[in-house]
């Protein structure tokens, strides 16, 4: 059994970029064949010799009767609550807080699992102040990272290890 670390958040905050940065592999995120792509979004990772499995819940897709592909943030968050040992709740430091972030926070807040609030797109020291508005989500101290620049991922993973 490896602990499961789930990445949760609204679209475009950088969940997949963060997931790829942590698992250190580029994997196919876009599925050619429409359908639930859940099996493609699990990947094993390791930090300081500790192994865990990551899941990018944003990659869980559904197809409706008209062949439209959609995702459901609420379902993704609930799956993470059910299955994960640690939840990485990702928000976007460039766009700032959005109503959908509050929706996700409302689902996660009372889940009883450890939730780490990750403010992504903190690409430089000057942008660190963008983290602070997210205290208002009531999810504890935000951890600022840049998935693209690989900044502060070590601190984030240290925090993950404290919970697994
Ligand atoms: P997802 O929908 O949450 O999985 O988001 P993606 O990982 O697909 O990223 C959405 C967009 O944000 C892409 O254009 C990424 O290149 C961009 N992005 C992701 N991480 C960062 C980051 O740390 N800094 C910046 N500036 N852009 C980022
Ligand atoms: Mg994604």
DSSP label at residue 164:
-
122 is in an annotated binding site: yes
Which tokens hold the place of 163? 């919970």
* CATH number, domain containing residue 20: 3.40.50.300
CB of 14 closer than 6 angstroms to any ligand 1 atom:
yes
CB of 100 closer than 6 angstroms to any ligand 1 atom:
no
What range does the domain containing 8 cover?
Answer: 4-161
Atom of ligand 1 nearest to the CA of 9: 3
DSSP label at residue 162:
T
How far from chain centre, in Å, is Cα 154? 15
Q: DSSP assignment of 64-128, as one string?
A: -TT--EE--HHHHHHHHHHH-SEEEEEEETTT---HHHHHHHHHHTTSSS-EEEEEE---SGGGG
123: CB partners within 8 A, 6+ apart = 146, 148, 149, 151
Q: Closest Cα partner for 104 from 118, 94, 123? A: 118
Q: What is the whole-number distance in angstroms between the Cα of residue 1 and the centre of ligand 1?
A: 30
Buried b (16+ CB within 10 A) or exposed e, 86-116: bbbbbbbbeeebeeebeebbebbeeeeebbb
CB of 148 closer than 6 angstroms to any ligand 1 atom:
yes
The torsion angle over the Cα atoms of residues 149, 123, 117 and 150, rounded to 10 degrees, is: 10
Which ligand is in closest contact with the Cα of 92? 1
User: Number of folded domains in the chain?
Assistant: 1
pTM attached to this predicted model: 0.91
Tell me whether 0.95 is exceeded by the ipTM. yes
Per-residue pLDDT of the chain (164 residues; tens, 9 = 90+): 899 999 999 999 999 889 988 987 655 444 444 444 444 588 889 999 999 999 998 877 778 888 887 888 888 889 889 999 999 999 999 999 999 999 999 999 989 999 999 999 999 999 999 999 999 999 999 999 999 999 999 999 999 999 99
Q: What is the whole-number distance in angstroms between the Cα of residue 38 and the centre of ligand 2?
A: 12
C-beta atoms surrounding 69 within 10 Å: 13
11 is in an annotated binding site: yes
């Amino acid at each position: 059994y490896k602990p499961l670390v789930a990445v949760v958040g609204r679209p475009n905050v950088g969940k997949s970029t963060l997931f790829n940065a942590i698992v250190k592999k580029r994997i196919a995120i876009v599925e050619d064949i429409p359908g639930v792509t859940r099996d493609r979004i699990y990947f094993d990772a390791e930090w300081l010799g500790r192994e865990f499995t990551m899941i990018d819940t944003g990659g869980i897709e559904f197809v409706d009767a008209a062949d439209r592909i959609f995702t459901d943030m609420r379902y993704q968050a609930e799956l993470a609550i059910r299955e994960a040992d640690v939840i990485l709740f990702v928000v976007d430091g460039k766009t700032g807080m959005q109503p959908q972030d509050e929706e996700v926070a409302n689902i996660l807040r009372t889940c009883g699992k450890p939730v780490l609030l990750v403010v992504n797109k903190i690409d430089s020291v000057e942008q660190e102040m963008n983290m602070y508005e997210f205290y208002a989500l009531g999810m504890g101290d935000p951890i600022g990272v840049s998935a693209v620049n690989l900044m502060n991922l070590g601190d984030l993973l240290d925090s993950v290890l404290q919970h697994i």
